[in-house]
Structures are given as structure tokens and as C-alpha cells.
Structure 1
Amino acid sequence: MLTALFRWVGPMRFRNASVRSKITALIVSLTLLWAFAAWVTLREGVNLIGAAAVDAQLVEPSEPLLVELQRERRQTIARVGGGARIVDKALRDQRARTDAARAEFATSLDSSSLALAADDALIARARDVLDELTKLDTARKSIDSGRVGASQAVAAPYNNVIDSLYRMYDSVAAFDDKEIAKDGRTLSEISRSRELLAREDALMAGVFARGVFTGDSHAEFVSTVGIFRYTLAEAMSKLPEEDRTAYDRWTKSAHATRVRAMEQQLIQHESGTGPLPVDAEEWRKATESTLTDMQAVTLAAGDRLAERIVPIAVGVVVRLLLAGGLGLLAVIASIVLSITTTRQLLAQLRKLRDAAHELSDERLPNVVERIGHGEVVDVTKEVPDLDFGDDEIGQVGQAFNTVQHTAVSVAAEQAELRRSIRDILLSLARRTQGLVQRQLSVLDVMERRETDPEELKELFRLDHLAIRMRRNAENLIVLSGSSPARTWRRSVPMVDVVRGALAEVEDYTRVTLMPMGDVVLVGRAVGDVIHLLAEVIENAVSFSPPYTSVQVSGQLVANGYVIEIEDRGLGMKPEDLDAANERIADPPEFRITGTARLGLYVVSRLAERHGIQVVLKSSPYGGTTVVVLLPPELVEQEETPKPPDDTPRAGLPRRPTAVATATRPASAENVRTLNVASSRRALTLQPDVPQEQAAPVPREPEPEGESDVKPAEFTPSGLPLRVPQANLAPALREEAPAVLTSDKEDDDERSPEEIRAMMGSLQSGTRLGRTEAAKLIEDQQPGGST
């Protein structure tokens, strides 16, 4: 499962890597392959060097120790078997030679070359030999004190030391060559056979000292002789031809033949019966010579094995040179070739990448922008072919040339299509705008002729709907990238600009207009600012509960004039506010999709046209506050301040001339509809704020006969009833203020008959409305009196 996972995950990760990473991985893998091949070859040389170090620092110092231990064991067993209680000079000298060999062996273990060449297992086996040699000192004391008397007990500590030496030989590093390793193991087996002959000789030394075979000693002798002959025959059968010949000569020598004959005699001798059939001195000389000859043959075989190792070492060196030297040259050449190829490949790919970025970041947007401006674009000149050569990268470059030709062509077609759509939108908007303007003119005439208050109320509602339709038509004009047709030559008071915006809002009665200050807006920006504010106020009214109000305020600041529109709705999330502000600050190109944010797009385009800053932020009341900052070049201070009585209060309308001539109170509904109609004609909306929000306006009573205007009493909800023109100064009643009109309406001339009909209609509606309001107040008063 892990292998399958690796096979699946590995290529997936490598497939997504860069070209440089892939080439680097290829170079690294090639280097690792060379390092592995070099190490395999070098390991043989290191093995040879290590084997030579182990042989020099461990094996050679141990061989004299092995021989001296065998001799000391024989003399010790002979002394104990003879019943001697005093250590003679010969045994003391032998022990001294053994201790000298042991000291030399211990010294060789501390060499640094052995520590580098030997592995941990070999060092551990060598330490075991030293531990057994330490135990030998205790065994000597026990033997000398007479506490140990049996031959087997005497031989045990020596046998343990010698067995630990052979275990150490088994841990010596083997050669990688199988034949060499096999011959080395065969020589080790012959050396073990020699140890069996030495044990046999030590056993007989004790028997000769006692002069008789015991049952146990005879059985041990027979067993040792059998094992010796078997292991020797097995080991000799594995020797190479030259070594086998040398061992055959040794087995046929006089001393070896005499030892076998005496062994046979001793085997056939019954224990406990008479003297031994073999002379002790003759046995000693024959076995000693046999052991010496056998050691010489074994060492000679070892020397021949070392000579056979030399050609192997030479071959290792040659392979090391070939695999290491020539392989290293090949790796270096591969690295150089890979680096140069990678640089060329990356240069071509970088050129192709830069061309793709230039196409996507510069050429396509430039072509689209130029086509959007109506310029004719030649695709062949705009997208020249790129030359990347004739290799595989060049073929990819040719394919890219085709792709960029197609992309520019499609972009040109799409840009042309979008321009056509914008032209269609502009055409439809202009037509709709013309129709709406004609509809407003018809409504205007109908309003002037109508005397019925109810019918006049419905006409005013249609008037308001037409004004909103005009704004929607202007939205299409803005989306098409053009400017609306409404323009003004003269500056307009800021309060009238805001009222004009409120005239284009459906639920304008929920908007509270705060004092705006004595500031006027330059004529060139009036239409767009009215449109912008209408969009923002409409959004604030639409996304807040119907029982809440929207507050509009404005004031001069250091950087221009700021208008704040604050609602008390549900508000927006921080991320939505950030997205909306970013969209307004940096408006994207208009697309056919995404109609849910057309209002923001229109606001952003209108603000961009005049350098207006529009920022949305959270309101402390839980809703949203929109800050509209007009630059200083769009606003001016009014030259002559208005009279105090004519200054519009929060939520109080400024009445046109026609309304100022009314002499009786009007109903709230009539006042509201009259204001809507007047706002369309004068481009200033005078909304009645909901009665719950209006504050009572104190005024001085006027002398009887100067005015028929009566003070307002109370609304159905118990608040003072606001009466338009109640606080108007007498001077203003005598001379009506100038009403601001658009360029088209400035030039509109009415006949005296039309003016008379309009004034009569307004007076009739005003009188009827005031009569109904008076009756309503009268019904609510206790006793029916006012």
C-alpha cells in the first residue's frame, strides 16, 4: 500500500514542479547514482584496507597469544596430573611468555587504525577475549593453591580464552569475493582443527603424568581424536588445489603419521590396565612437531590467500578509477549540458511568458479600449508573430501566435459587441428620456387645468413616477458611458439640489432634511449630483425598516462640502462595506452581468466624473452612513444670505410663487403632492416630513385683514399642524422668489390664460384642503370647537 501511495503521490508532486526543479532533480539523481556506483566500488577497496588493518592490528598479535595459551595449558595439566604442588621454572617462564603476548594483544586493541577498520561486533569480541584473559589470572591462583585438581577443570579457563579468540576470528571482516571468503573460512576451520589436536596433546600430558588412563580421560581422548580427524578432513576437502597439496604432504609426514599411529594405540588401550602403550617423551616430540608443521602450513596457505587478494585489490582500484574518475567526468559533462540546456529552455519559456503577459496586460486591454472609443484596429499590426525557433519550444511559440491572434480577434469582437450594446442602451435611454420628458410636459398641462383635488392628487402621483422613470433612463445613459441631457447654466442652492434628489425617491416622506448651509452647487454638476444623491437616498430608504427615517445633512469642511445620508436599518457586514467602497473608488468596466450592483456602478461613474468621494461606513445607530464629499471647485458660498424667515428649517419646504398666493390652510396630502409637482418644475423638492418628526414653528399673529392665513392647530396624532407659508414674510408674499429651472424650462413661456388657469387651480385646491383639515381638527377637539 505504501509503495502504491508513493507511486501515486510522487509523480503528482513532481509533475507540478518547475522546469528548473525538474532539471535539478535530474542532476541530483545522476550525481547520487554516480556516488552509489563509486561507493560500491570503493567499498571493496575500503574492505581490503580494513581487512589488512584488522589482520595487522588484531589477528597477527592474537596468533602468538593462541600458541602460548596452548603451551601453558599443556604444562599446567601435566603439572597437576603429576601431583606437583610447587610451580616450577618452566611453567613460570611459560606464563611470562603468555602474559607478554597478552599485553601486546591488549595494546593493539587501542590503536586508532583498528577502531576505524573494525566494526562494533569485532571490537566487542576482542573485549570478550580480554575479559577471559582477566579470569585466567584467578584460575592460575586456584590451580597453584591446589583447589583445582581435575584435568577438565584445569583446562576449562584456557579453553574459554581460546574459544573467545576463535569467535573473534569469525567476526573479522569478510571479502566481497566469494572464493576468497570461502578459502578464508576454510583456513579458519583448519586452525580450529589444530586447536583440537592441541587439546588432545594437553589431555595426554596429564595422563602421562598420572601414568594411567582413567575411564573419563580415555573417553574424552577418543572423542577429541575423532572430532579432530573429522573436522580436518572436512576442511581439507574445501581447500584449493595448491593448499590441499601442501596439507596432503603434511598429513603424510613422519611426525603426523607417528601421531596417528600412537593415537590408534591409545584408543585401543583399555583404561586402568597396565602401563600406557606410548612413551610420553615420544608423544610430546611427535605432537609438538605436528602442531608446529600444521601451523606453518596454515600460515603458508594464508600467505597464498593474501597473494590472491592482490589482483582483486588491483581490480578494485581500476574499477574505482573507471567508476569514480570517468563516471565523475560524465557527471560533470551532464551537469554542464543540463545547465546550458536549461538556461536556453528557460530563456525561451521566459520570452514566451513575457509575450503572454504583454498580450494579457497591455495589448488586449489597449485594443479593447481603442475599439471602445470607436477606433478601427488592425489585428495583424497589433499582434506581430513571435519567432521562437524550429524546436519544440518554437512549435509552442507558433501555437501561441495563433492563440494571440484568436484572442485579439475575439477581444475586438467582444469590445465591438459591448460598444454596440452601450450604443443600444444609450439609444433606448435617450428615447425613453424623451418620452418621459413629453409625459412630464403633458402632466404639467393637465395639472394646471385640473381643479378637482382628488384628480390633482393622482396626477401628482403620476408626476412623481415619471420623475423616477427619468432617473432610471439616466441610469442607462450612465451605464452606456455618456452624460445625461439635464444641465444647468447657473449655480443652485445645495438645499434645492438635495430636494431635487428627494423628488426622485419613492418614499421621500421618510427622509429628514437637516440644514444644508448657505452653499450653492455649480451648474455643471447639478444634474449628476442630484442623480447620485437620489441613488444613495433610494438605497437607504429601501434597505431600512418602514418605521425608521433617513437623515440627510450637509456642511462645509476643509476639503469641500460633505453630505451625509444616514439610515437606521440592518447595516452591512465589514467585508461588504469594504467591497462596496472598493467598487465605488475603482469602478470596473461595465458588464452585462451583475445587475444586482447597478446602483453602485452608477454612483461610482457619477462620482468619478466630478472627482466626488463616496464612502460607506457603519452608523452608530446600527445602519449605514454614506459620506459624499464634493470637491471645493464644485461648491460656492452664496453671495447674499437669505432672510431669516426664508431660511429652510429641518424638514420645512420653501414654497414656490404659486403656493405662496394661497390664503387658506391646505391638507397635508395636498401640500405633499403640490410639493412634488413644484419640485419637478423648479427642480427643488419641498417634502413634508412625517408629522411625528416636525417641530412646532412659533410665529407672531398678523393683523386682521393683512392675511387670511390661519395658524395650524393639531394633527390627528396630537402634534402641531404645519401650514405652508404661515411664517412667510409679507415682503416675500408681495414678490415671489425666483424659481430655479433647467435650461429648457427657462425658455418655456406660458400664455396669460395658462398662468391664470394654473393659479386658479392651486387656489381652489388649497382652499379645499384647508377646509378639510379644519373640519378634521374640529372633530377631534372636545365639544367640536376650535
Structure 2
Amino acid sequence: MLLLPLLSLSALWGFVLNLTVGDGQSLLRANTLYQTIGVTSTDLGLQLQAERTRSVAAATTRKLTEDLGEQRARTDKAVGEFGRAAADAGDAITDDMRPTLDTLTTELARLSSIRNDLDTGNSSRLAGMNAYNQVLDALFRLYDHLVTVPDLALFQEASSLQAMGNARELIAREQALVGAALINGRLSEAEVTAVTEYVASRKFLHARGLAGLDVELRQPYEQVFSTEPFLSFSAAELSIVKTGRPPADAGAWNVSVTALADRLDKIGVTSTGVIADRAAAGATSIIVRIALAGGVGLIAVIASILISVRFGRRLAAELAGLRTAALDLAEVRLPRLVGQLRESAEVDVRQEAKPLRITGSAEITDVAGAFGSVQRTAVEAAVGQASLRQGVGQVFLNLARRKQGLLHRQLTLLDAMQRRTHDPDRLDELFRLDHLTTRMRRHAEGLIILSGAAPGRAWRKPVPVLDIVRAAVAEVEDYSRINVDAVPPAALDGAAAADLTHLVAELIENAAIYSSPETAVQVRGDQVSNGYVIEVEDRGLGLTPEEYAAINARLADPPEFDLADSDRLGLFVVARLAERHGLQVTLRASPFGGTTAIVLVPRRLVTEQDALPAAPEGAPAELPSRTSKKKPLAVVGQLHNGLPRRVRQANLPAQLSGPPEPPPKPERSPDEVRDLFSAFQRGTQRAREEADHEGDDT
């Protein structure tokens, strides 16, 4: 929050400093150019003008004088000093100035050929003069690039003075050409045209220069233009243009031109000094701006940073306190409250929804107050949801208990009817009703589990795994498809037997529902080092790896029951039962394409049990006596209250299921069937009485 304003302020300071420093750099660059190229180029221009005048005169007389040789030596010296000054300028020469400097250097290199053409007569007077003019034009173009004053008004005045200097160069050209023509008293037609161009350009440059100068700089030029030398010079110009001949009075021409040139040179020097003084004042102003933008601005930025850091630390401390309080609310207090509500503990809403104690600015306290309101609302909502869940659970529990009472009475009634019935067909129908009632009891127990309570069925003594598997198969509608493979003898804790029966029944029913009716569901068990494993395998369509992972995660850590997710009721019941007894339930892909459910019963719930001996072929099943310690039939009766005969002994190995029951044949008379069933009822009754006598409770 504080970093963005600081960055914006720093960027603004850097932008302003860059502008002012850029102006300062322009001044430094202009000063460097003036001290190097500017001084030497001015002397170079004067020497070139002097050499041009003497060279044009020598071309007219066809004589090389000693004065011309000395002038050429001075020009060569000025050229050398200019080259060294250009090298010393270095980085002060800008990219747009470099081409102009290179052009001037190229033109200066032509001086030797220009001189040779004039000396040998290969070049006419006008051609030689035009050659010198090209060199001076390149020099004046370089002058234009030397005017790099950052102040706009000062730049305009400097440009106007540059125009006046260019006009002074045209006067020098007229002086050289007309002075050479006075030697032989004639001007060629081309020379007259050249003079005419010089006059027109000079007038244009004077008008342009005067328009851009202020009163202080324009007044000296206006005074010179009203004096007799300039008027005489102008009249001579007009005469040359009209007649095409040089002035008749050579002495008057030379006097007027020399006097005018001297005055213009003095005004140029004076005006240049005025511009330099103004540039110095502008440089001082720029330096002041640099100091303000750089120094004072830097101080302001540093002060802003210090104040912001101090304010930011205080704000960070307040926010840290608010964050700590909010995290304590979100990660400690609310989870603890939810845990208490899950355990059905009494919760004081006023105590749990205490406001957050945060000190600081008004904004922070307001946010803390808002968090307090959110906290209070969340606590009230959690308490309300817990009350709603408890109410729904109580409704489930009441309905399940009532249903259990009715089912218990129905099972008792069916048991009594089975004792009185001797007709095998009616007995088979009673077995079917007994099976349906057992399934209904499992669904009622599911409601009890959803309510958070525990079913009432429990045994104090271990129950054989085989009986638990048989009872689970009996609670499944499509029990005829269930194949029970080898189940090694073992017994499980009686307190967990009913819940484990319910869990295995849910897995078997799920396997039967989600597989083809033509396929079988395999149930097998095995004793492992960590306990006892029961596997339920179907040959259905199976699930994706992501779906297996999601289901196994819910089985390992069962969530709160969602009333809207009733389609996965069996999965939730399995997860709750597994969590209650520490069982591990895992689903994975079967090699046959379906799903294999693996239930690992921990070793603390497993006890050893000897294998049941196989009865001799054709021997009747021995019913337990009142003094017998092994009561598998009684326990199975307690588990499912009348397991159908086809389930008790179908698809079980011989050593566990006992001798196979001979299928019903016409050779047995109805009296024999009634006698056998009466013996079965009497044995079952004695086993139940013995279990009740020893304290087992259902």
C-alpha cells in the first residue's frame, strides 16, 4: 500500500531530474562545443574568407603573390587546429551533428585541389570562388548545429544572429568578386548573376535576422543600416545588378565595403557577448532547477520514505496483530468449537464469540469489529447447524429405534411361525420373509449410525469370521450371486461383530448392485500379519483412478454427513463403522475389470480359532448341547435371526460349512422333513437359551 506511492514519487523525481539534468547536459555540451569547435571554426571561417579574396584576385591577375602564400599558410594552420578541436570535443558531438562535421572535413580536404586549379589556370575566377563558397557553406551549416541552447527565446535570438552572420558572409562574397572585377574592369554574365543572387540572399537574411532579434540586439544593426557606408554599398549593389558592370569608383566601393564589414563584425562580437551573458544566466537558472529538483526533491523523497517506513511499520504491526487474531479465530477457536459441537458438548455462544482485542488506528479497529461480527455470525451459524444436525440425528435415532422394535417383534413372530410350520414350501416363504426383515434391520441400523449412536447388538465373546460373513450375505437381497471362498478359521471381538457384519454387508450389496446380474461376487478372507483381511470382489465396470482415490480418502477420513448426498449413504456408513473400530477399508481395481473392496481388521480384534472338523459323509449335523463351548449355529442365529438355508451352506468350503445338505428329493416323505426341521428348531432354541444363560445380549 505504501510502496506504490513511494515508487510513483521516486519516478516523478527521477523524471523531473532527468529533464533538468538534460538541460544542464545540453549547456555543458554547448560549452564544450564552443570552447573547441566554436572558437577554432570562427578563426577558420575568417581565414577561408581572406584566402578566397586573395585567390580570386590572383586568378584575375594570373600572379601568385607572397601575401597569398602567407594567407594559405594561416588557413592550413587554422584547419589543423580545427581538426584537433573536433577530436577534443569527443562525446559532445551529437549524432545529428556528426554528418555535418564529416561533410566539412571532406570539403576542407579539397582545399589543395582548389588552390591547384586556380594556380594552374584550370579554374576560372568564378569557379574558384564557388569552390571556396562550398567550403564556407559547410562551415556555416556546422554553425547551425552549434546553437544548442535549451531556452527557446534564447535559441531564436541565437538563430537570428546566425542569419545575420550568414548575411555578413554574402557581403564578403560580393566584396571578393566585385574587388577582383575592379582589377580588369569587367564582370562576366555569370558573375553578374552570382552578384544578383548574393544581393537577394543578403537582403532576405537581414530581414529574417532582424525579425527574430529583440530590441537590444536589433537596434545596433538598424543603426548601421541607416549609415552612409551601408547606403553607399546598397547603391553600388543596385548599380551592379542593373548595369552588369563593376562600380566606376573603385576607391569609394572599397571604403564603403570595408567600413560596413568592420561595423558588422563589431556588432556580431557584441551581440555574441550578449547572447553568451544570457546563456550564462539561463545556465544559472538551469543549475538552480537542477539543485531544486535534485537536492530538494531528493530530500523530499527521503523524508517521504522515512515517514512512510515509520507509518508502514506501525500499520504492519497493527495488521500483524489483526492477522494473528484472525488466524487464531480461523485455525484454533472455530475448529475447536466445531469439534465441541461434533461431540455434542454444550457451547456458550457469548463466551466463544468474544470480540477481537485489537488496538490501533480507527480503520484497524473497524476491521477488527467487522471480524468480530463475522466471528459471532459464524459461531451462531455453527451452533445452529450443530443443533440442526443433532435434531436430525435424533429423528433418525427415534425412527430407527421404533423400527428396530417392530422388526424385533417381526423376527420373533417369524421364528414362532417357523417352529409351527411343517410344510417345506411355506417354510421357504418364511425364510424369505426372515431374510427381508434382516435387511430392513440393517437399514434401520444405518439410520442409527447416521445419528451418531451405536447399534444395540453386541457379544461379549469372540464371533467366528465365517459366521460374520454368513450373516453379511444374509443381509443382501441378491444373496444367491454371492460366492464365499475359503475363509481361514478365526474369531473377531464380539463388540465389533455386529458392526463388521453391517460393514461387510454394505460392501457386498454395493458389489452386487454395480455388477451384472449374470456375474458372481466373490467373498474371501485371509489371516495376515497385521490382522485379518476380508475381500469383496465384483466383476462390474470399475472406476477411474481419480474416483478410487476420492472414495479411499473419504473412507480414511469420513466427513460430516451431508443430507443432500444420500446416494452415497452406504459409503458413509462404511466409513463411520471403520473409523469406530479402527478398520482399514480400501477400494481398488480388480484384475477382472471390476472393484475389490479390502477390509483389514486390526490384530487387537482378532483371536485364534481352530478349524471346524469336516463331518463324515452322510452324517447328520451335530447340534450343540447345552454344555458345549462352541456355538456357531447359535451365534449365527443371533447375528441374523434365521439365516436361509441356501445362504448358510451355499458356496462354502466343506471344512467350514460342515457336511453338504442333501438336496430335496422325492425319496424323503413329508413326515421325515417335519422331523428334521423339528430337530433343527429344537437345536436352535437350545443354543439361544444357552447364549442367554451365559449373558450374551442382542
Residue 205 of structure 1 corresponds to which residue in structure 2?
179
Matched AA of 1:356? A
> Partner of 1:592: helix, strand, or coil?
coil
| 8 Å CA contact 1:683, 1:742 repeated in 2 | no
| 8 Å CA contact 1:656, 1:736 repeated in 2 | no
Q: 1:152 to 1:456 in 2, by over 3 A?
A: farther
CA offset digits 1:493-517 (Å, max 9, x no partner): 2111111111111111111111111
CA offset digits 1:72-106 (Å, max 9, x no partner): 2222222223344xx44333322222222122112
Residue 57 of structure 1 corresponds to which residue in structure 2?
36
Are 1:527 and 2:498 counterparts? yes
Aligned ranges 1:254-653 → 2 under 5 Å: 256=230, 259-260=233-234, 262-267=236-241, 269-271=243-245, 277-279=248-250, 283-284=253-254, 286-389=256-359, 391-638=362-609, 640-645=610-615
CA offset digits 1:516-539 (Å, max 9, x no partner): 112111212111111111111111
| 8 Å CA contact 1:655, 1:686 repeated in 2 | no
How far off its partner does 1:438 sit?
A: 1.1
Are 1:175 and 2:149 counterparts? yes
Matched AA of 1:35? G
Distance 1:133 1:179 in 2: 34
Q: 1:744 to 1:427 in 2, by over 3 A?
A: farther
Distance 1:123 1:741 in 2: 118
How far off its partner does 1:193 sit?
A: 0.2
Matched AA of 2:313? R
Residue 122 of structure 2 corresponds to which residue in structure 1?
147
Distance 2:535 2:451 in 1: 28
Distance 2:269 2:526 in 1: 116
Matched AA of 1:174? T
Could you state the TM-score of these two structures normalised by the residue count of structure 2? 0.87
Matched AA of 1:120? D
CA offset digits 1:143-173 (Å, max 9, x no partner): 3343322x33222322222112222222235
| 8 Å CA contact 2:236, 2:247 repeated in 1 | no
How far off its partner does 1:602 sit?
A: 0.9
Q: 1:478 to 1:173 in 2, by over 3 A?
A: farther
Residue 667 of structure 1 corresponds to which residue in structure 2?
none
How far off its partner does 1:738 sit?
A: 11
Q: 1:645 to 1:206 in 2, by over 3 A?
A: farther
How far off its partner does 1:246 sit?
A: 2.9
CA offset digits 1:298-324 (Å, max 9, x no partner): 122111111122222222222222232
> Partner of 2:321: helix, strand, or coil?
helix
Distance 1:79 1:419 in 2: 126
Of residues 20, 27, 30 in structure 1, which corresponds to 2:6? Answer: 27
How far off its partner does 1:382 sit?
A: 1.9
Distance 2:530 2:244 in 1: 134
Distance 2:151 2:231 in 1: 36
Aligned ranges 1:758-773 → 2 under 5 Å: none
> Partner of 1:192: helix, strand, or coil?
helix
Matched AA of 1:436? L
Instruction: Let me know the Cα RMSD of the aligned residues.
Output: 3.4
Are 1:95 and 2:76 counterparts? no
How far off its partner does 1:593 sit?
A: 2.3
Q: 1:748 to 1:74 in 2, by over 3 A?
A: closer
| 8 Å CA contact 2:514, 2:540 repeated in 1 | yes
Q: 1:234 to 1:364 in 2, by over 3 A?
A: closer
Q: 1:450 to 1:167 in 2, by over 3 A?
A: same
Distance 1:289 1:646 in 2: 156
How far off its partner does 1:59 sit?
A: 1.7
How far off its partner does 1:206 sit?
A: 3.3
Residue 239 of structure 1 corresponds to which residue in structure 2?
213
CA offset digits 1:129-148 (Å, max 9, x no partner): 11222233333333334332
Q: 1:527 to 1:507 in 2, by over 3 A?
A: same
> Partner of 2:102: helix, strand, or coil?
helix
Distance 1:109 1:449 in 2: 132
Residue 764 of structure 1 corresponds to which residue in structure 2?
none
Matched AA of 2:318? Q
| 8 Å CA contact 1:488, 1:743 repeated in 2 | no
Residue 196 of structure 1 corresponds to which residue in structure 2?
170
How far off its partner does 1:446 sit?
A: 1.0
Q: 1:744 to 1:362 in 2, by over 3 A?
A: farther
Q: 1:105 to 1:180 in 2, by over 3 A?
A: same
| 8 Å CA contact 1:48, 1:313 repeated in 2 | yes
| 8 Å CA contact 1:561, 1:629 repeated in 2 | yes
CA offset digits 1:329-379 (Å, max 9, x no partner): 222222222222233333333333333332233222322332443433222
> Partner of 1:496: helix, strand, or coil?
helix
Q: 1:710 to 1:399 in 2, by over 3 A?
A: closer
Residue 775 of structure 1 corresponds to which residue in structure 2?
none
| 8 Å CA contact 2:464, 2:489 repeated in 1 | yes
Q: 1:489 to 1:162 in 2, by over 3 A?
A: same
Could you state the TM-score of these two structures normalised by the residue count of structure 1? 0.78
Q: 1:39 to 1:711 in 2, by over 3 A?
A: closer
Matched AA of 1:121? D
Are 1:39 and 2:27 counterparts? no
Distance 2:311 2:335 in 1: 35
> Partner of 1:110: helix, strand, or coil?
helix
Q: Which runs of 5+ in 2 are unaligned?
A: 625-634, 666-678
Count of aligned residue pairs for this structure pair? 666
